[in-house]
Amino acid sequence: MSLIEVKGLRKSFDGLEVLRGIDLNVEEGERIAIIGGSGCGKSVFLRSLMLLNQPDAGQIFIDGREITAQGARVDEIRRSMGMVFQKFHLFSEMDVMKNLCLAPMRLKGMSREDAEKKAMELLGQVGLANRAHAWPSVLSGGQQQRIAICRCLMMEPKILLFDEPTSALDPTMVGEVLAVIRMLAKRNMGMLIVTHEMNFAREVADRVLFFADGGIYEQGTPRQIFDHPQREKTIAFIHKIKYFTYEIRDRDFDLMKMQGGIQEFSEKYGLSGNSANRLQICCEELVYEMLAHCYPSGSEVEVDVGIDYAESDRNVGISITCGGKPYNPFEQDEDGLGVTILKKMGRDIAYSQENGRNRIHVTL
């Protein structure tokens, strides 16, 4: 049985049909990214699942119970879901601890002692244990959004709905919120994420839905949607993101060829000479650092370099993937030149080691 089942969902505003008969099944633990242009109905769809927007037609089943049925116990059914909004919606008259403890104490009958213990555990996981009694007004946007995520987790939902959780944040704060969502994804928390962060969607999602024409226009794995979109509007949307890739299979690889490719890519898409130079330095330094620390002398090497550029918001990302020994260049006592530059320029720095592969991605 699917955790969420949607049948024929429709919603209009002032005669304009925004959702035109959406069908969707979401399995427990599944991570789905929802992408698409502004005004295509992504947020309306999420809000409809919670009945924050009342559908005009269709059925929604949450964990086997129809939330759209007449007489349904809506508040009880939607406790299986937690929703994180663009704006944080913390209660301004309560400190962080009270924001977190209010709902589980009132709705689940949790004791204050148990609620506060659970709240401190969650705050520790998101790096905010020292802000337990701070007021929302003194917290940064990134901190408030992390608190909002914790508030959802206090109710132990089976799935989280994220409605563009980083869109209201200063760019310097985006990374800290994405890091929390990434942590939850690694713990197999089910989630539906409306996002404009394409690299993030590619990284964490099991499935990507592209919304257009009032519904799910195309769907597939991140690789299918981002690398091999099939339908016209998906192709037009995805191709706003440009990619440069370079494969390294020999220690004595042609550095000048890689650097020339980066220069050509930068000139083609209007990146400044200074940006191109920094990309070249960062890629060169990271490649040599990973070769030196991940692969024993004389062994075969496999390093993939990628640069992605989003025309819509002019974000540039660097990705490095390689095998060999686990090695995180961002946690060393001394930083190489490329790492130093990336730490200064990067607003979302991620490292992981999964299935024998080191993965680095930095959004500049």
pLDDT average, residue stretch 7-35: 94
pLDDT average, residue stretch 274-288: 89
Whether residue 254 sits in one domain with residue 223: no
Domain final residue, candidates 206, 236, 266: 236
Give the pLDDT confidence score for residue 125 in this predicted structure. 93
pLDDT surpassing 80 at residue 121 = yes
pLDDT surpassing 80 at residue 341 = no
Whether residue 126 sits in one domain with residue 54: yes
**By three-state DSSP, how is residue 201 classified?**
helix
Whether residue 61 sits in one domain with residue 36: yes
pLDDT surpassing 70 at residue 312 = no
Q: Which single residue is written with the structure tokens 């969420």?
A: 4
- For residues 200 and 178, the answer to whether their CB atoms sit within 8 Å is yes
Domain final residue, candidates 202, 236, 270: 236
Whether residue 224 sits in one domain with residue 105: yes
CATH number for 144 = 3.40.50.300
pLDDT surpassing 90 at residue 33 = yes
| pLDDT tens for each residue of 207-255 | 999 999 999 999 999 999 988 899 988 987 887 778 888 999 999 999 9
Q: Tell whether pTM > 0.75.
A: no
Higher pLDDT, 145 or 196: 145
Give the pLDDT band (50/70/90) at residue 324: very high
User: Which range is most confident: 185-194, 241-250, 327-336, 354-363?
Assistant: 185-194
Whether residue 185 sits in one domain with residue 82: yes
Whether residue 289 sits in one domain with residue 197: no
Domain count of the fold of the chain = 2
Q: At what angle do helices 141-153 and 171-186 cross, to 10 degrees?
A: 20
Whether residue 153 sits in one domain with residue 279: no
| pLDDT tens for each residue of 128-160 | 999 999 999 999 999 999 999 999 999 999 999
Q: What range defines the domain where residue 62 resides? A: 4-236
**By three-state DSSP, how is residue 217 classified?**
strand
Whether residue 301 sits in one domain with residue 175: no
Domain final residue, candidates 236, 263, 284: 236
pLDDT average, residue stretch 88-107: 93
Per-chain mean pLDDT for the chain? 90
- For residues 258 and 266, the answer to whether their CB atoms sit within 8 Å is no
- For residues 88 and 120, the answer to whether their CB atoms sit within 8 Å is no
CATH number for 317 = 3.30.565.10
Whether residue 223 sits in one domain with residue 75: yes
Whether residue 217 sits in one domain with residue 249: no
pLDDT average, residue stretch 290-314: 87
Give the pLDDT confidence score for residue 345 in this predicted structure. 74
pLDDT surpassing 90 at residue 311 = no
Whether residue 62 sits in one domain with residue 45: yes
Angle at 29 between CA 11 and CA 166, to 5 degrees: 60
Whether residue 159 sits in one domain with residue 14: yes
